[in-house]
């Protein structure tokens, strides 16, 4: 039977390589992700409304929510139709948007529209249903109800398709921001 040969250097030279490897790897700095939005916000102005979408960072680390502002410039009430308003990533429909206070277990049905009175501005932090992280039941404000928190928005083209109604009229606007991430040594 043949004995295998050890390929590791022995003696002082081997100890030197082991110590050098440990020294180099222990000095390695952690990698940090640097996120940016381009443009930092997107807006559209029409005769009846102004819509603005701005991605916001969660804990200054990553983008997790969008700040949605809708100003009703018309003399009549507008309605934000949550059932038609969608989140798109790289042009693909990724589902509905949610916000704190919505019960995610009841989203299988229709969501009630949000009225926006004439001359007022509606503001809310929204995030895609597909990116939420569910909280353990012991961490929710209302016992027995399922809670959630926003997750990480993916890099790439992030679009909010907003649907507004006024009577029989339906307006749909797409507002897109590019989220970019790069790795950097700390």
Give the Cα-Cα-Cα angle 53, 59, 142 (nearest 5 degrees). 85
Q: With a cut of 90, say whether residue 141 has pLDDT above it.
A: no
Whether residue 139 has pLDDT greater than 90: no
Instruction: Tell me what pLDDT residue 130 has.
Output: 87
What's the 3-state SS for 118-182?
CCCEEEEEEEEHHHCEECCHHHCCCCCCCCEECCCCCCEEEEEEEEEEECCEEEEEEEEEEEEEE
- Judged on CB neighbours under 10 Å (0-12, 13-18, 19+), 58 is middle
pLDDT tens, residue by residue, 78-119 = 999 999 999 999 999 999 998 887 766 666 668 899 999 999
pLDDT > 90? residue 22: no
**Residue that wins the pLDDT comparison between 146 and 1:** 146
Tell me what pLDDT residue 16 has: 56
* Mean per-residue pLDDT of the chain: 83
* Residues β-bridged to residue 184: 32
* pLDDT tens per residue, range 148-177: 778 899 999 999 999 999 999 999 999 999
Number of helices (H) and strands (E) in the chain: give both, helices first: 1, 14
Whether the per-residue pLDDT at 23 is higher than 60: the answer is no
What region, left, alpha or beta, does residue 27 occupy, with left being phi > 0 and alpha being psi -120 to 50 degrees? alpha
**62-72 and 148-149 beta bridge pairing:** unpaired
Of the pLDDT bands very low, low, confident and very high (cuts 50, 70, 90), residue 132 is confident
Question: Which CATH code, of 3.30.1330, 3.40.50, 2.60.40, 1.10.357, is assigned to 33-185?
Answer: 2.60.40
The pLDDT-based confidence of 45 (bands split at 50, 70, 90) is very high
DSSP 8-state symbol, 48 = S
Query: Domain segments of the chain: what residues?
Result: 33-185
């Amino acid at each position: 039977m043949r004995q295998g040969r050890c390929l590791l250097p022995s003696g002082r030279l081997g100890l030197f390589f082991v110590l050098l490897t440990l020294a180099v790897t222990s000095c390695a700095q952690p990698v940090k992700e640097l996120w940016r939005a381009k443009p930092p916000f997107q807006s559209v102005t029409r005769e009846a409304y102004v819509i603005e979408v701005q991605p916001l960072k969660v804990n200054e680390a990553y983008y997790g929510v969008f700040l949605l502002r809708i100003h009703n410039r018309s003399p009549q009430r507008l309605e934000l139709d949550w059932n038609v308003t969608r989140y798109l990533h790289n042009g693909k429909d990724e589902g509905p948007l949610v916000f704190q206070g919505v019960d995610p277990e009841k989203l299988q049905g229709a969501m009630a529209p949000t009225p926006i009175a004439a001359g007022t501005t509606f503001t809310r932090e929204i995030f895609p249903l597909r990116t939420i992280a569910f909280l353990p039941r012991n961490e929710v404000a209302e016992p027995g109800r399922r809670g959630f928190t926003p997750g990480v928005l993916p890099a790439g083209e992030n679009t909010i398709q907003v649907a507004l109604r006024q009577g029989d009229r339906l307006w749909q606007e797409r507002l897109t921001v590019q989220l970019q991430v790069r790795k950097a040594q700390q």
